Amino acid sequence: MTPLSIDYPISVAILYTTYDPDTVEVAMQMNEALTSCGHKVRMFETTTQNWKKALRIPGDVVINWIEDENTDWKLWVKVGHNLELLHRAQLGFNSRLIPYSLSKIKMKRRLLNYGLATPAFRVIRKHGNIANFRGLNFPLIVKPAGEHASAGISQDSVVIDHREMADQASYLFKKYGGEVLVEEFIDGYEIHVTVIGNKRHIIPLPYVQVNYKGEYNDNWTVLTHNAKWDNKTWEYWDSNQICPVVFPKKIMVNIDNLVKASFNALGCVDVVRFDIRLDQKYNPYIIDTNVNPHLGFYDQSECWQSAKALGWKYSQLIETLVAICYKRHFKRLPDRLRERQFLLAQRVS
């Protein structure tokens, strides 16, 4: 696959927050990438106080890179929804998929309604009867239903009996509140699949495999919060990524078909990353959907790893995503200047 290029320069608005240094860094990286391609980029630090002004920042395409301070995604959703009401072209955002992006439970139920594979699961509510919980095969993995980026996932998340499950669920209720998701733990390969495109033109990029080694030989092969974010832990150093990873053709066809069908079932647009576990027979199961995947220029960024495996530059990845969004919204790639029209319509100097 070759990257998309935009021959006629366009303008892009990047809305970001400063609660997390990583969010700022990635916003700057995207700015530099698009600027190097000749596009006009406007950066706007967005807060709960000035979010309405953010809606008026000019840009043919808007990248909503807002990270809420308390991880409830309220500001990201509010800004994204209002941009949609204003008919702005917005990378990766679709109001129809919001329920599935905020709740793993709703996401999994949606997949099951379409006959798509996800591990068998149950939901525990705070005042539910945890002790008498039945219906799944151990080992199980217990995680908060509304958190992302592996928050709430540790070696203790994988449990082998009802008592361990009850203890872990009680811990998560105290720390995160909300509902707790309990699903069968798929003991096998773990891969990340970035999918780009829209409707019939959906393309899975090269797979990224989590390579568990070292101390993982005596522990659960699960991508914990430490493994993703804490470089002072053995989990971080013993779980590197391999890309591209190749399986027999039949298995890759099954994976591709699963992610393509899930992309449409959930109402995804432009770009999404699916986290998948393969069982001992190489059957794929979706364990999470990331509708706002990490797009940074880091080795730990799965989207960048997949693009790099294709021989792309980082700037080509970001420009390709912007081009996909632009084409979805305007039905064609740019051939004329829209900036002046937008400025006049919004009365922004």
177 and 211: one domain? no
28 and 45: one domain? yes
205 and 303: one domain? yes
CATH of the domain at 204: 3.30.470.20
134 and 212: one domain? no
CATH of the domain at 31: 3.40.50
Query: Is pLDDT of 127 > 80?
Result: no
Question: Distance of CA 228 to CAs 175, 220, 240, Å?
Answer: 19, 15, 10
CA 68/CA 302 separation, integer angstroms: 22
143 and 228: one domain? no
194 and 170: one domain? no
179 and 240: one domain? no
Closest CA to 326 of 105, 92, 139, 78: 92
Q: What is the pTM of this model?
A: 0.92
Query: Is pLDDT of 130 > 80?
Result: no
In eight-state DSSP terms, residue 295 is -
154 and 204: one domain? no
260 and 339: one domain? no
The tally of domains found in the chain comes to 3
CA 301/CA 295 separation, integer angstroms: 6
User: What pLDDT is attached to residue 344?
Assistant: 46
7 neighbors 56 (Cβ within 8 angstroms)? no
Is residue 317 included in any domain, yes or no? Answer: no
Can you give the residue range of the structural domain that contains 267?
A: 187-309
Is residue 106 included in any domain, yes or no? Answer: no
Is residue 158 included in any domain, yes or no? Answer: yes
User: What pLDDT is attached to residue 106?
Assistant: 94
41-95 residue pLDDT tens: 999 999 999 999 999 999 999 999 998 877 678 999 999 999 999 999 999 999 9
226-271 residue pLDDT tens: 998 899 999 999 999 999 999 999 999 999 999 999 999 999 999 9
CATH of the domain at 171: 3.30.1490.20
227 neighbors 233 (Cβ within 8 angstroms)? yes
Classify 247 as helix, strand or coil: coil
205-224 residue pLDDT tens: 999 999 999 999 999 999 99
130 neighbors 166 (Cβ within 8 angstroms)? yes
CA 53/CA 93 separation, integer angstroms: 19
Is residue 38 included in any domain, yes or no? Answer: yes
Instruction: Pick the last residue of a domain from 162, 184, 206.
Output: 184
Is residue 39 included in any domain, yes or no? Answer: yes
Is residue 320 included in any domain, yes or no? Answer: no
Is residue 15 included in any domain, yes or no? Answer: yes
202 and 286: one domain? yes
- Average pLDDT of the chain is 92
Is residue 326 included in any domain, yes or no? Answer: no
Give the pair of three-digit tokens for residue 345: 């319509």
254 and 154: one domain? no
Give the bridge partners for 196, in sequence order: 203, 271
Residue type at 96 in one-letter notation = R
159 and 215: one domain? no
